[in-house]
A and B are shown apart, each in its own frame.
Chain A
Amino acid sequence: MTKPERDPYTGLMTTGHEWNGIKELKTPIPRPVKFFLALTILVSVLFWVLFPTWPYGSGYTKGILNIDQRQLVAEDLSRSAALRASWEEKFSTTDLAALEADADAMTFVRSHGARLFKDNCAACHGTDAAGGPGFPSLVDDQWLWGGESETILETLKVGINTRHEDTRNAEMLAFGDQGLLDADQIRALTSYVVSLSRADELSEKSVAQLPQGKELFAENCASCHGETGKGLRDVGAPNLTDDYWIYGGDVDTIRATLRHGRKGVMPFWDQRLNEADLRLLTLYVRDIGAQTK
């Protein structure tokens, strides 16, 4: 360590450290840096006063602005709710049939309902509401439970096969897995079910099984699907005689359905969406169905 000395070129003192002849200048921190450092400290003091800052034991200082994020979002939400109030009131109280006849209301349904549908329903039913394998189409005018607006609204609210206390329940039994029918019987029954909608696809061997299949159908299936196989809306049993299939109407899929059963789930929405939104969606679904036709 040498003695601090004044550097002849800068006029500043050295620190007194020396490494192989190199001396270190004791340059003071630049003024602007000092200034901004002081400023940040001042600002932080200001924040301590204004905002929640210092913790102590079981609580913390709240600050004189009394800011609370939950309060802020509550205010934002009630503001947006007030903006919606005019039409929400209308949609949650007016009769659905009256709304369908109201051209203004339906224009609103087409814009706003589309957004609700994309946010909540399109994941399963598709953006065009045409469904997909395992997820029913909403535009083919074929309804498991009925296509009246009140029925659709109820399905939206309670769902199908959910834990909602009023849920709709429908289950296609696993006739094979549960040992209700043996493999031969399932083959015969499959042929019969296929014959209801696409008889021309059956092989000769299958045609020979039809009498046995018909008998099995009367014993096992008619209670839900009806004697003619046209389905029963009270229990959500689909019509088997048309060409609309949720899981598929080919031989392999029908055989798989008979073997393993089906228990499709429609979630319930009355805890996620409010009455106005649900009714808006009901109208939207019926409207796109009518337009697609």
Chain B
Amino acid sequence: MLDKHAKLERNALAFVFAIIFVASIGGIVEIAPLFTIDETVEEVEDMRVYTPLEVAGRNIYIREGCYACHSQMIRTLQDEVERYGPYSLAVESQYDHPMLWGSKRTGPDLARVGEKFSDAWHVAHLINPRNVVPSSVMPSYAWLMRNTLKYEDMGLHLSALRKVGVPYSDEMIENAAQDTYGQARPGSERADAFVERYGEESNVSLFDGDPDRITEMDALVAYLQILGRLTDVAHQSSDSAQQTTSTGSGD
């Protein structure tokens, strides 16, 4: 059989196909089954989608390269669970396209940072991290407060996400720009419409504290405040592992 490869090497096209076949074995064995194995992604009922403002914030998170220093993935290790909270489940990044698990932590993990600090803290921290955390090495992102958010095209972002499996309704896509505004303007009519579409649990707030403009700061803070809060499944898991940290019971 080994003699046959002399023949193969002389036939360019056959050789190309042979290489593609051999190189794909690893992927076929390692990745393809993840789509058929039932327990890869947990099934949860309370999974929410990112709102348009949060999607805009996520895009800023990607644009500014936050993932280069911050992970969003709490691993199944004791010290991580005790420091950050319940370990991340696959379903929590079900609607992340692309996922932002990251692979390096210059700063802390952000998978459970949602609601840990107030909006005002995030704004102060992003404007100059050293104003609130003197030892921080994070760069300043003060311009987010000066940049007006471009959100007229949020409907296009949402429909692109729907193409890859995020269950946005036609109504959500149609009203994406209005909802972006509504989420950052508590008390407005658009805010009421937004809550009706995205549920009581969603976060309506004057994120950057500036009532005059919707800024990029609004979007990024809205995104940071939703991290780890799209579903409660990681907290509810019947695993004693998850229970130990949230209730302190020593079982």
Contact = CB atoms under 8 A, between A and B. Distances in A.
Does B bind A?
A: yes
Contacts, number: 113
Interface in B104-147: 115-121, 124-125, 131-134
A260 interface: yes
A144 interface: no
B245 interface: yes
Contacts of A123: 117, 121, 125, 132-133
Contact of B211 (A72, A177, A266): A177
Contacts of A77: 78, 81-82, 240-241, 244-245
Interface in A43-78: 54-60, 69-70, 72-74, 76-78
Interface stretch (A79-87, A179-187, A223-231): A79-87
B76 interface: yes
Contacts of B78: 73, 76-77, 80
Interface string B224-247: 000000000001000111001111
B240 A60 contact: no
B120 A134 contact: yes
Nearest to A265: B118
B87 interface: yes
B251 interface: yes
Interface residues of B, number: 43
A58 B246 contact: no
A123 B138 CA distance: 14
Nearest to B135: A127
Interface in B133-168: 133-134
Interface size class of A (residues with CB under 8 A): 35 or more
Contacts of B1: none
Contacts of A124: 117-118, 121, 132
Nearest to B123: A134
Given A74-B240, A78-B251, A271 B246 contact: yes
A30 to B, nearest CB: 18
Given A267-B118, A271-B235, A81 B76 contact: no
Contact of A267 (B33, B77, B115): B115
A120 B240 CA distance: 23
A92 B250 CA distance: 13
Given A162-B115, A264-B118, A277-B248, 13 more contacts: A70-B241, A73-B76, A73-B77, A73-B78, A73-B81, A73-B241, A78-B240, A80-B244, A92-B248, A177-B211, A267-B116, A271-B246, A275-B248
